[in-house]
Amino acid sequence: MRTVSMALLGSVLVALAACGSSVPPPNTEWEAASNDVGRAESGGSPGVPDARLHLQLAREDLKQSKDLINKDNKRALRLVELGRAEAQLALSLAKAQSVQDQARQAVADLQKVKGAQ
C-alpha cells in the first residue's frame, strides 16, 4: 500500500512539473519586445526623463527574461510582456513630449506674427 501511495505521489509530482514546463520559450515575444525597445530608443525616449526611466526598465526586464528563458518560461514571458509595455510607454511619453514642444513653438510663432502686425 505504501509503495502504491509513493508511486501515485510521484506520478502527481511529475504531472505537475510537466504542466509548469508547458509554456514554450517566449523567443518571438522577446524579439518583438526588443524591437519595441529599439523604436523607443530611436523615437526620442533617451532625451525625455520619464521616457528614459521606462526605457531603462524595459531593458532590465528583457535582460532578466533572457536569463530565464528555458529555465522558467512562464516568468520569462511575463517579464517580456512587462518590458514590451515599458518600451511602448517610453515611446508614447517621448512622442507626447515632442507634440507638446511643437505646440509651444506654434504658440510662440503665432505670438510673433501677432506682435509684428
Which domain, by its residues, includes 57? 25-116
pLDDT at residue 12 tops 90: no
Please provide the average confidence, as pLDDT, over all residues in the chain.
89
Cα–Cα separations (whole angstroms), residue 110 to 71, 97, 98, 116: 59, 20, 18, 10
Give the length of the chain: 117
What's the pLDDT at 45? 97
> Would residue 89 count as lying in a domain?
yes
Return the CATH number at 57: 1.20.1270.390
> Would residue 79 count as lying in a domain?
yes
pTM: 0.77
> Would residue 42 count as lying in a domain?
yes
Domain tally, the chain: 1
**pLDDT-based confidence at residue 17 (cuts at 50, 70, 90):** low
- 50-63, pLDDT tens digit by residue? 999 999 999 999 99
